Amino acid sequence: KMLKFFNRLERTRNFVLLIFGLLMVASLIFFYAPTRGDLGANLARSEETAAVVGGEKITVGEVYRQKEAVSQMFQGRPFPASRILETLIQSRILRVEAARLGLTASDAEVAQAIRQQFTPTDGSAFDQQRYEEYATQQAGSVAAFEADLRDRISAEKLQAYVTAGVFVSEEEVLEDFRKRNTKFDLAYVVISPSEIAKNITPTEEQLRDYFEKNKQAYYISSPQKKIKYIYVNTAKIGEKLQISEEDLRAEYDKLPADKKIAGVNGRELVLRIPKPDMEATVMEKANQIVADLRKNGTTVNEQAFIDAAKGQSENPATAPLGGQLPGVVRDNPNNPTDPYQRLLKMQQGEISEPIVYKGRIFILWRGEAVPKSFENAKKEIEVSLRNRRAYAQAAEIAQKIDDALKSNKDVEAVARQFAAEANSTPEEMIRETDYVKPGDDVPNIGVSPQFEDGIAMLVNKGDVGEKIPIVGGFAIPMLVDKKEPRDATFEEVRNKLVDVVKLELAKGKVKEIADEITSAATSADSLAAAVSAKGLKLEEAKSFTLGTPLGSGNDATTSSALNDAIYALKQGEVTKTPVQIGDAYYIVAAKSRSEASMEEYAKQRSELMESMLAERRNAVFMDYLSAARQRLEAAGEIKIYKDAIAKLDEKDLPFGDLLGQ
């Protein structure tokens, strides 16, 4: 309903929707939220001032309500109060500026907007009771709902006023279309320091020279300790444990109902986002589909979803099947961004809000839960039970070893005494570190705050610490030797220096190698030989469009300079000079070039003109608001009371852990 309501008003710009959409949706969630307890209730009602913008007050209660609401929207991720306050400050700047220019929405304009939303289309009279119920549900009270609505209409009027003189020309739109839709088959090479470093072997002289020049960077500021420890391996202990069928059955019977579910069935309706700038358009379509499916309530009939998926889903694999997912959706905590994981938190028959994921928008329907039988759960239960019992027994053995080692200080004798009980040999149990300090990656242990804390108390040779949980079990440590803070020797840090020096040497060669490749590559055909001669690999990108990251994995990137260089290429040409992005250089050849379709441009012309105009107006309006904020700050008309905000972050109330990772 809210989306239809927004659509009946004048077209709202992205920035206005961002601010007021967030605030109004957050308000809706807050007034459905369960009680937070006395502390939350007191903060929610607090009239203490959090900020003042041009005489407009923002209360602690207002910030708290939005903070809690947004936290619930994101499944319990604690949301900093300062970020919520920034959104509220922006909304107040809009209000202040609209009032300064005489653009505040009138009572008549607010009333008209309300009538447009709530007057039935069948010709019957305006339903005052329905409106008041809806307004209270949305914002907590009719007054708050109408205040939000007044602000939004005022903001739209302000944006229209500020951007009235903004325009775009036919030439600009056409050139932008050509750049976005011209396709290239590219051959390219990325010359980066990390790639060049692979073929560099620094000499001892270069390593020593670098060390002498940067010796201070390798100063050892913390004491180094050599530790001998007895290791109790949990897995080894688990191997000899006997787990009976009765034990497993008892564990299964104790499982809560939600743990006896193997997963859920589900269906999907997928819409593709052809280009990033079309996301808003596709999202509007997705929201309309959701609204249509929910017209009779939040529970959606399966056949209705099947019909919608067959008619509108753009996943060719599942659309003919009514969006049926190929298998059961199981809990996968290792991939929380997977959109299908949302199904596990939904009720049967519910559909999700549109979910944007990897260039597509998903609408999901939750089917029946699939039960997990004892036989299917038995292996998982056995692993869990064995691990728990092994851990408890390992902790018990580790404590006995700790007591014995503190008594006689003989590592070898204690290891022999408990080897059988730990299901290990003495040789497997006795381990020794090199000289280590906090932050070091210790073999078999890693970077472990627990281990560092456990050996911190060891001061004198022969001191024995408490048992320490480490990877795979427990360590009972004894101090063998200690070195005080000092300058590191070359021998101590030599291995660390190798990669550092290789990278430093590579940085000095990157530009030279890039220039040499460019000079040797006079055409797309000759680029491969020039790249190979330097021990590098030529990559390809087919049907490339400007703005698409070039490269592979996390190293893929783009820039305006790279886009301009590629767009200037004719078929068969190579970039005349390497394009630098960060420390790397790109050399690109166009193996083929397909110009944008002018017929397609003619079809999209009006939409493209409107889209570019909206983008430019939005940019101008953002600049205007930034300048307005600077003016208000310079005049001392924006005051933030940090102490009041700080108390809102002192106690975050948990709601879950979807994004808190």
The pLDDT of 388-415, averaged and rounded, is: 96
pLDDT tens-digit map of 599-630: 999 999 999 999 999 999 999 999 999 999 99
Q: What are phi and psi of 323, to 5 degrees?
A: 80, 10
Q: Give the pLDDT of residue 131.
A: 87
The pLDDT of 262-289, averaged and rounded, is: 91
pLDDT tens-digit map of 19-71: 545 444 444 444 444 444 455 567 778 889 999 999 999 998 888 888 887 77
Nearest residue to 16 (alpha-carbon basis) of 617, 637, 650, 659: 617
Beta-bridge partner residues of 587: 189
The tokens of 608 are what? 């493209």
The pLDDT of 587-610, averaged and rounded, is: 94
**Cα end-to-end span (Å), the chain:** 34
The tokens of 378 are what? 């038995």
- Classify strands 360-371 and 584-594 as parallel, antiparallel or unpaired: unpaired
Nearest residue to 470 (alpha-carbon basis) of 305, 298, 265, 232: 232
Where does the pLDDT of residue 306 fall: very low under 50, low under 70, confident under 90, or very high at 90 and above? very high
Whether 580 has a pLDDT exceeding 90, the answer reads: yes
Please count the CA atoms within 13 angstroms of the CA of 574 that sit on its side-chain side. 23
Helix (H, G, I), strand (E, B), or coil: what is residue 248?
helix
Instruction: Determine which of 199-208, 224-233, 332-341, 635-644 has the lowest per-residue pLDDT on average.
Output: 332-341
Q: pTM of the full predicted structure?
A: 0.55
pLDDT tens-digit map of 477-499: 999 999 999 999 999 899 989 99
pLDDT tens-digit map of 437-454: 999 999 999 999 999 999
Nearest residue to 232 (alpha-carbon basis) of 472, 479, 478, 480: 472
Helix (H, G, I), strand (E, B), or coil: what is residue 301?
coil
The pLDDT of 629-640, averaged and rounded, is: 95
Where does the pLDDT of residue 75 fall: very low under 50, low under 70, confident under 90, or very high at 90 and above? low
Percentage with pLDDT > 70 across the chain: 91
Who contacts 309 (Cβ-Cβ below 8 Å, separation ≥6)? 267, 268, 269, 318, 319, 322, 323
Instruction: Select the highest-mean-pLDDT range: 336-340, 451-455, 556-560.
Output: 451-455
pLDDT tens-digit map of 80-101: 888 889 999 999 999 999 999 9
Q: Give the pLDDT of residue 76.
A: 61
pLDDT tens-digit map of 496-554: 899 999 999 999 999 999 999 999 998 998 999 999 999 999 999 999 999 899 988 77
Q: Are 135 and 86 in contact (CB under 8 A)?
A: no
The tokens of 631 are what? 């003016």
Instruction: Determine which of 165-169, 367-371, 507-511 has the lowest per-residue pLDDT on average.
Output: 367-371
Nearest residue to 340 (alpha-carbon basis) of 264, 283, 288, 272: 264
Please count the CA atoms within 13 angstroms of the CA of 30 that sit on its side-chain side. 25
Whether 408 has a pLDDT exceeding 90, the answer reads: yes
The one-letter amino acid at 147? A
Nearest residue to 177 (alpha-carbon basis) of 642, 609, 639: 609
CA-based angle 556:559:562, to the nearest 5?
Answer: 95
Q: Give the pLDDT of residue 658.
A: 29
Percentage with pLDDT > 90 across the chain: 66
pLDDT tens-digit map of 120-153: 777 778 888 888 888 887 777 888 889 889 999 9
What length does the chain have?
A: 661
Q: What are phi and psi of 16, to 5 degrees?
A: -65, -45
pLDDT tens-digit map of 171-206: 999 999 999 999 999 999 999 999 999 989 999 999
Q: Give the pLDDT of residue 38.
A: 52
Q: DSSP letter string over 376-436?
A: HHHHHHHHHHHHHHHHHHHHHHHHHHHHHHHHH--HHHHHHHHTTTTTS-HHHHEEEEEEE
Alpha helices (H) in 299-373, listed in sequence order: 302-312
Where does the pLDDT of residue 576 fall: very low under 50, low under 70, confident under 90, or very high at 90 and above? very high
Q: Give the pLDDT of residue 19.
A: 52
